[in-house]
Chains A and B, each alone.
Chain A
Amino acid sequence: MPSTKTEQMVMASLKARHRKEQSFKLLGIAAIIMALFFLVTLMTSILSKGLPGFFQYYVTLEVELERERLDPAGDLSDQSLFDGQAKKIIQEAVLAKTGAKKRNEKKAARKLVSNGSDLRLISFVQANPELLNSRQSVKFALDDDADSYFRGFVKKQTPEKQRRLSDLQIAYLDQMQADGLVSYEISDYLFFGSASRNAEMAGIKGAAIGSLLTLVVCFVIAFPIGVATAVYLEEFAPKNKITELIEININNLAAVPSVVFGILGLAIFINIFGMPRSIPLVGGMVLALMTLPTIIISSRAAIKAVPPSIRDGALGVGASKVQATMHHVVPLAIPGMLTGTIIGMAQALGETAPLLMIGMVAFIVDIPGGVTDPGTVLPVQIFMWADFAERMFIQKTSSAIIILLLFLIVMNGGAIWLRKKLERRW
């Protein structure tokens, strides 16, 4: 039992204190639950839409690989194969399978197989020239409307006029499925295809490589400049009005909307320096400008966190200022610098607006082979796909978002691994 007066007063106040603590705790838990709820909703929505996008429907057709028709020049060169009749051979295979005879029947049947199937047949022939002049089963992608039918987005009950497939086409598809020719498989077009208006052929390879090239340029420019700036400002620069002004500007630049950097890139790199549009080099330079403040600020924080006793120790044995910085301070600050850099790079990876400004939104089918080839990047690709009307692009958009997230997870994982590896205790 409380004896003294003070103790009694303390006991009396305890209840209110406990209540306050309890409500504070509950508030925190509620906030976390809410955040988790939104996260789960987001992930469920993306995964439920996106995972089917990793797959698509294929049809296996028996094609007659006649050499004279496929490869008129007989040398298996791209030119010769393109001059050949790959498309016609596939169409004949479809007609044979469906039994379409009349003109309108033929037209309906031909539309069921993807437009880009001739390229697939050509690469099949190039990979297996020994199979020429024989009858082979080859898998082709179904057209996106046929794909949507198998996914159940196109329904038989809908009046024929209001759906994108005719009764006849649906009958053909049902027949193919009954014959066991239709398969649902991992979409190779998604991973190895490039930009395409045909939803079933569209893929992220070009955009992924564009993203990679852009990020490499961004890193190569932003990391050394950012770290050098941070080291200079933190270790060497005199503390005066000018450095103060620079510091304030760097901090403010970190908060500038990214699209502004895009306009800057457009005005300076493209209009004044006359660099080409749509290239990863300019994209990387613009993103580097955007990322620099983040890298500088985090690198300075990392340098500040190095205990001064380490500097003293180095200076005390007669190291020069540069030696003390390079041998001791920077190695200890590197993990923190890398963390900031990766955060900046992850931000850059997800950036769309500044790249729209410099024309990386162009429709580019070719996969960029270098930083000066026109290209696009993953978020811009997502942005473009989200705009297309075809049903299949909805899944492809979500799939691309998943891939972008995987990119981010891999980058962050790499950053954590690097930091763990380089971290030294003192």
Chain B
Amino acid sequence: MLELGEVIVNCADVSVFYGDTRAINNISIDIEKQSITAFIGPSGCGKSTFLRTINRMNDTIDSCRIEGRVKVDGEDIYAPSVDVVPLRAKVGMVFQKPNPFPKSIYENVAYGPKIHGLSNNKNHLDEIVEKALTRAGLWAEVKDRLHDSGTGLSGGQQQRLCIARTIAVEPQIILMDEPCSALDPIATSKIEALMSELSAEYTIIIVTHSMQQAARVSKRTAFFHLGDLIEYDSTDTIFTNPKEQKTEDYITGRFG
């Protein structure tokens, strides 16, 4: 059985429906704090959908309905009293396609702190921006052109800018939905190195299509198939000694 340290996300019997279609079947999973957990599985297996239940991004889809219980930091995030704004400040998200705002690099990073009122003066905001960009490994590259448009950066830089934008709000958890699928191998390796560094402070959950990536960066791996959680274990176990036949078939490339 999988030994976990302190648990930050606790899901019990979570099912997600789009209209009448069931996308996720009764998934229960615990995510360890300050480590990297990877969700792998073939396309359409529900791993992205499940990731998006953790910060309630599925709320934006009208037909989407969720059953079961998701607790972040011990708090049921689907309780009626929960406001999604502080939840999403606590559980940040990086998307598949780099999506910086069509504004300056500075404003991209400063946007979150601004709307949450994390800073009340310009100097402090400058510090937050510098710190976030530094931690995202982008400061050296952009410090002379902070007021250029964020969309003018290369794809890998844009994705690191999106990570900086997320960590500027000081979240506890960062959800990454295939963050490297639109990037070249060099940019990918930079992001992977960054994830490893960030995992000292943040809990990272990453959805990935690349099994190599999951094997390289994550400590735990969960394998999803057709809306079911097939197997969840330490990454080493999943890739060397999976218990389920389906997992083995997938990681050895027999399907998917």
Same complex for A and B? Answer yes
Total interface residues on A, CB under 8 Å, equals 22
Determine the distance from Cα of A426 to Cα of B158 in the docked complex, in whole angstroms: 11
In the complex, which of the residues B55, B60, B100, B149 contacts A313, with contact meaning CB atoms closer than 8 Å? B100
Asked if B102 and A426 make an inter-chain contact with CB atoms under 8 angstroms apart, the answer reads yes
Asked if B89 and A310 make an inter-chain contact with CB atoms under 8 angstroms apart, the answer reads no
Expressed in whole angstroms, the minimum distance between the Cβ of B53 and any Cβ of chain A is 14
CB-CB nearest in chain A for B152: A425
Expressed in whole angstroms, the minimum distance between the Cβ of A323 and any Cβ of chain B is 6
**Within B65-117, which residues are at the interface with A (CB < 8 Å)?**
84-89, 92-95, 97, 99-102, 111-112, 115-116
Contact with B along A61-95 (1 / 0, CB 8 A): 00000000000000000000000000000000000
**A323 cross-chain contacts in B, Cβ below 8 A:** 115
**A238 cross-chain contacts in B, Cβ below 8 A:** 62
Asked if A316 and B57 make an inter-chain contact with CB atoms under 8 angstroms apart, the answer reads yes
Interface residue? B134 (CB, 8 A): no
Asked if A316 and B102 make an inter-chain contact with CB atoms under 8 angstroms apart, the answer reads no
Interface residue? B191 (CB, 8 A): no
CB-CB nearest in chain A for B169: A317
Determine the distance from Cα of A314 to Cα of B95 in the docked complex, in whole angstroms: 11
**B169 cross-chain contacts in A, Cβ below 8 A:** 317-318
Interface residue? B220 (CB, 8 A): no
Determine the distance from Cα of A312 to Cα of B96 in the docked complex, in whole angstroms: 11
- Which residue, B60, B99, B166, has most C-beta atoms of chain A within 10 A? B99
Asked if B88 and A316 make an inter-chain contact with CB atoms under 8 angstroms apart, the answer reads yes
Interface residue? A198 (CB, 8 A): no
Interface residue? B213 (CB, 8 A): no
In the complex, which of the residues A317, A328, A424, A426 contacts B89, with contact meaning CB atoms closer than 8 Å? A317
Determine the distance from Cα of A307 to Cα of B115 in the docked complex, in whole angstroms: 21
Interface residue? A332 (CB, 8 A): yes
Asked if A309 and B57 make an inter-chain contact with CB atoms under 8 angstroms apart, the answer reads no
**B165 cross-chain contacts in A, Cβ below 8 A:** 313, 317
Asked if B89 and A318 make an inter-chain contact with CB atoms under 8 angstroms apart, the answer reads yes
In the complex, which of the residues B60, B102, B112, B151 contacts A317, with contact meaning CB atoms closer than 8 Å? B112
Asked if A313 and B99 make an inter-chain contact with CB atoms under 8 angstroms apart, the answer reads yes
**A239 cross-chain contacts in B, Cβ below 8 A:** 62
Contact with B along A310-333 (1 / 0, CB 8 A): 111111111110010001100010
Interface residue? B162 (CB, 8 A): yes
Asked if B62 and A316 make an inter-chain contact with CB atoms under 8 angstroms apart, the answer reads no
**A313 cross-chain contacts in B, Cβ below 8 A:** 95, 99-101, 162, 165
Total interface residues on B, CB under 8 Å, equals 30
Expressed in whole angstroms, the minimum distance between the Cβ of B97 and any Cβ of chain A is 6
In the complex, which of the residues A310, A320, A332, A424 contacts B99, with contact meaning CB atoms closer than 8 Å? A310
Expressed in whole angstroms, the minimum distance between the Cβ of B135 and any Cβ of chain A is 15
Asked if A327 and B111 make an inter-chain contact with CB atoms under 8 angstroms apart, the answer reads yes
CB-CB nearest in chain A for B103: A424
Asked if A425 and B89 make an inter-chain contact with CB atoms under 8 angstroms apart, the answer reads no
In the complex, which of the residues A311, A318, A426 contacts B112, with contact meaning CB atoms closer than 8 Å? A318
Expressed in whole angstroms, the minimum distance between the Cβ of A421 and any Cβ of chain B is 14
Contact with B along A401-426 (1 / 0, CB 8 A): 00000000000000000000000111
Known: A315-B60, A317-B88, A317-B169. A426 touches B115 (CB 8 A): no
**B166 cross-chain contacts in A, Cβ below 8 A:** 316-317
**A315 cross-chain contacts in B, Cβ below 8 A:** 57, 60, 88
Contact with B along A200-216 (1 / 0, CB 8 A): 00000000000000000
Determine the distance from Cα of A424 to Cα of B112 in the docked complex, in whole angstroms: 21
Determine the distance from Cα of A310 to Cα of B102 in the docked complex, in whole angstroms: 9
Asked if A309 and B88 make an inter-chain contact with CB atoms under 8 angstroms apart, the answer reads no
Determine the distance from Cα of A315 to Cα of B88 in the docked complex, in whole angstroms: 7
Asked if B112 and A332 make an inter-chain contact with CB atoms under 8 angstroms apart, the answer reads no
**Within A27-67, which residues are at the interface with B (CB < 8 Å)?**
none
Asked if A320 and B85 make an inter-chain contact with CB atoms under 8 angstroms apart, the answer reads yes
CB-CB nearest in chain A for B88: A318
**A327 cross-chain contacts in B, Cβ below 8 A:** 111, 115
Expressed in whole angstroms, the minimum distance between the Cβ of B119 and any Cβ of chain A is 14
Asked if A311 and B162 make an inter-chain contact with CB atoms under 8 angstroms apart, the answer reads no
Expressed in whole angstroms, the minimum distance between the Cβ of B78 and any Cβ of chain A is 17
CB-CB nearest in chain A for B96: A309
CB-CB nearest in chain B for A311: B60
**B55 cross-chain contacts in A, Cβ below 8 A:** 316
Determine the distance from Cα of A60 to Cα of B237 in the docked complex, in whole angstroms: 107
- Which residue, A310, A318, A323, A328, has most C-beta atoms of chain B within 10 A? A318
Q: List 17 A-B contacts (CB under 8 A).
A: A238-B62, A307-B99, A310-B101, A312-B93, A312-B99, A313-B95, A315-B57, A315-B60, A316-B57, A316-B95, A317-B112, A318-B86, A318-B89, A318-B112, A328-B101, A424-B102, A424-B149
Which B residues form the contact surface with A (CB < 8 A)? 55, 57, 60, 62, 84-89, 92-95, 97, 99-102, 111-112, 115-116, 149, 151, 162, 165-166, 168-169
Sample of 20 more A-B contacts, CB < 8 Å, known A318-B116, A320-B85, A424-B102: A239-B62, A312-B60, A312-B99, A313-B95, A313-B101, A314-B101, A314-B111, A316-B94, A317-B88, A317-B166, A317-B168, A318-B85, A318-B115, A318-B169, A327-B115, A328-B101, A424-B149, A425-B149, A425-B151, A426-B102
Which A residues form the contact surface with B (CB < 8 A)? 238-239, 307, 309-320, 323, 327-328, 332, 424-426
